[in-house]
Amino acid sequence: MSGSASSASASRKYRLWVPAKYDPEVLSPLVMMLHGCTQKPEDLAEISGMNAVADRNNFLVVYPEQPLRANLLRCWNWFDPKHQSRGSGEPALLASVIEQLASSHNVDPSRVYVAGISAGAAMAVVLAATYPDLVAAVGVVAGLEFRAATSMAGGLAAMKKGGPDPEQQGLVAFQTMSKGLSERPKGRMPVIVFQGTADPYLNPLNAGQVVSQWAKTNQCLDGHNQDGGALDDGELTKSNVLGGHSFEKYVYKDGAGRLLMEKWMVDGMGHAWPGSPVNGDFADPKGPPASEEMWRFFSDTTMESLAHPTARKTLWDRLVHLLHGTRS
C-alpha cells in the first residue's frame, strides 16, 4: 500500500508492506528502509528481499521515496547541513512517516528500526542521531559515519577517503541526540554494518568509521563520555557463503556483555546489498543474507536492551506516569 507524510515544509511518499499475518490488535515492529541513489522504493524492496523476511517474522516495512525534485539522482541529502538536524529537512520528514504509521497501525514504539544502502544508509545514521527517541537500532549497507560531510563536494571526498575523525563525530552525534534523549532516555544505539571490500564507489574504510563513531556515541550514551574512544578489535568470525563470497564478521559488546554492534566485511563484493534474492544493480546474491541478519540483530539487541535494569526502570516510570495521568 502507498501513502505520504508531511513535515512543516515538505512531504514524502512511501510504500508500506503489511505482512499477511499482521494483527491490528497486536503491537508490531516497524523497519524503515531507505533506498540509494537512482533507486525507488520498489527497487530496494526487490534487492533486499526484506518483505519476505517481514512475512516470516510478522513486522511492517516502510520504504520512503526520495523524489527528483529533492535530488536529481534521488539521493537522500545526508551531506547537507539542512538535513542533519532534528526538526527540519529530511530527518523530520522521515520522522513524520514513522509517526503517521504509528497513528494508523499498531506499531511498537520500542521496536522501530531504520536501515538503508549507500546514501540511504548514510541517512539512516543521520535519522538515528537526530531522532534517537524513535529509532531502536540501525542497519547500514555501504554507508558513512554521522556528518561525514557538510557539502556535496565533501560528501564525494568522504566516499573516496573517509570522513572526519570518528571519535569526534561520535561526540557530535551524541550532542545532536540531546533533544531526542530528553523525550525518551536511552543508554545505547545498536548498529550493524555491511560493506564490500571491492566497492568502487565507497572506500571500505568507511565501514570502520561508522563502527568507531557509534562506539564513541554509545560510550557517551552509557555515561562514559570522558573516557577514551578506543574500540577493541571485536570478536572475529571468518566464514563464507556456499558458492559465494567469504566474509569477516566482527562482533562488539557493551560493558554489560550485551551485543551492541556488528561489522560484516564481504570479500570481493561491490556496492551492493549482500544476499539479495535477485542479481542486478546494487544486488549480490553471493553475499551473506543481510536482511535476515539485520532482523536477527534488531530483535536480539532490543530484547537485551529491554532486559537491562535501566530499561526496566524507564518502562516502569512510564507506566507510573500513565497511571497517574489516568487518575488525575
Residues labelled as active-site residues: 118
The set of cell numbers assigned to 112 is 522501530
Pairwise CA distance, residues 243 & 106, whole Å? 41
- CA–CA gap between residue 158 and residue 265 (Å, rounded): 19
Helix (H) or strand (E) holding 37: none
In sequence order, which ranges of the chain are alpha helices (DSSP H)? Answer: 41-48, 50-57, 89-104, 119-130, 152-161, 166-176, 178-183, 205-221, 290-307, 309-327
Helices (H) and strands (E) in the chain, counts: 10, 12
309 burial via Cβ count (<10 Å: 0-12, 13-18, 19+): exposed
